Amino acid sequence: MRILLVEDNEELAMELRKSLVSLGHLTSWASTIEEARKELASTQFEAAILDLGLPDGDGYELVREVRAAKSDLPLLILTARSTVQDRVTGLKSGADDYLTKPFAMEELVARLDVIVRRLNPPSEIILSLNNVQFNATHRQLLVDSRTVSLPVREMDLLESLLRRKGRVVPKEAIEERLFEEGRELGSNAIEVYVHRLRKHLAECGAQIEIHTIRGVGYCLKEQE
């Protein structure tokens, strides 16, 4: 993917470019707003990473210009500013995400992926974690490349968890996904499905684990 990196700190820009290039991304570097404008005018990018404090102005200027030109180029703001107010202005400005320095490269790449994918959803949605792969388009589950079949509700449950793997999925969100609205549910309906899903996953050797977060919901993680 072609990425525009707008950052005035040369050292940071060089290291960042090195990392991005090693991940297979073509990266152009601009150190001022002016340079960034030229790059944007001459090249078609798939994403841009923007610093806010630039020598010739504020990164938000660029965000506004890009959005004013009716472009939906995914924009990730990378900044040293982290106050509550900064965060609010950052997300309201029209940028897609906001990451503060210092950051982990892994985090940057993950967020970049999310905002790029949001724009061009792939034709087939494949969710995977460890040795589990779920094709959400064809509703097909593979564990260690072997097809596994699950009851519909358990499949839906697994999909909800996989879509937010590593994050907390509230019980209400699962209820909404699994049952039509307004239906009376037993107080432990979800627990029952989670219990069954855990059993099925263990039986087929899936190396993933559903953690219970009591009073909130569940979190799907790789097994250690």
Partner 1 sequence: MKFRSLLHRVILSHSFMLALAALIMTVALNLFLHQVFISLHAATLGKQAEALALFLADEDTTSQKRLKISASLEDLYSEEYGRYFYAVLDDKGQPVLSSLSNGKPIFNSLNAYTKGSLETSAGAVDVEGVNVPIERGGQIYTIQLGENLSHRDVFFDDVMKVFSVVIFWVVIPLILIVLGFDLLIFREALAPLRDASREAEEISERNLAGRISRQRMPAEVVPLVDAANRAFERLETAYRAQQTFSSDAAHELRTPLAVLRIQIENLTDTSQRAKLLPSVDHMAHMIEQLLHLAEVETLSVAADDVADLRDVALSVVALLAPLAIDRHREIELQGAEKSIFVHGRRELLFRALRNLVENALRYAPERSAVIIRLAQDGTVSVLDTGPGIPDDHREQIFNRFWRHDRNKSGSSGLGLAIVKRIADLHDAKIEIADNLPHGTIASLHLKPIEQSSAS
- How buried is 179 (Cβ within 10 angstroms: 0-12 exposed, 13-18 middle, 19+ buried)? middle
Tell me how far apart the alpha carbons of residues 176 and 182 are, in angstroms, rounded to a whole number: 10
- Region binding partner 1 by CB under 8 A among candidate stretches 8-16, 62-70, 137-145, 194-202: 8-16
- Region binding partner 1 by CB under 8 A among candidate stretches 125-133, 179-187, 189-197, 211-219: 211-219
Please state whether beta strands 75-79 and 47-51 pair in parallel, antiparallel, or not at all (unpaired).
Answer: parallel
Query: In a 3-state reduction of DSSP, which class is residue 55?
Result: coil
CB of 171 to partner 1, least distance (A): 11
Question: Are residues 158 and 206 in contact, defined by beta-carbon separation less than 8 angstroms?
Answer: no
- Is 211 near partner 1 (CB under 8 A)? yes
Nearer to partner 1, 80 or 185 (CB): 80
- Is 107 near partner 1 (CB under 8 A)? no
Applying CB under 8 A, among 70, 92, 183, 214 the residue interacting with partner 1 is 214
- Is 105 near partner 1 (CB under 8 A)? yes
- The number of residues that bind partner 1 (CB under 8 A) is 29
Q: How far is CA 211 from the centre of its chain?
A: 21
- Is 12 near partner 1 (CB under 8 A)? yes
DSSP assignment of 93-152, as one string? TT-SEEEESS--HHHHHHHHHHHHHHHS--SS-EEEETTEEEETTTTEEEETTEEE---H
Applying CB under 8 A, among 21, 23, 69, 80 the residue interacting with partner 1 is 80
- Is 188 near partner 1 (CB under 8 A)? no
- Is 102 near partner 1 (CB under 8 A)? yes
CB of 151 to partner 1, least distance (A): 26
Question: Are residues 160 and 179 in contact, defined by beta-carbon separation less than 8 angstroms?
Answer: no
- Is 81 near partner 1 (CB under 8 A)? yes
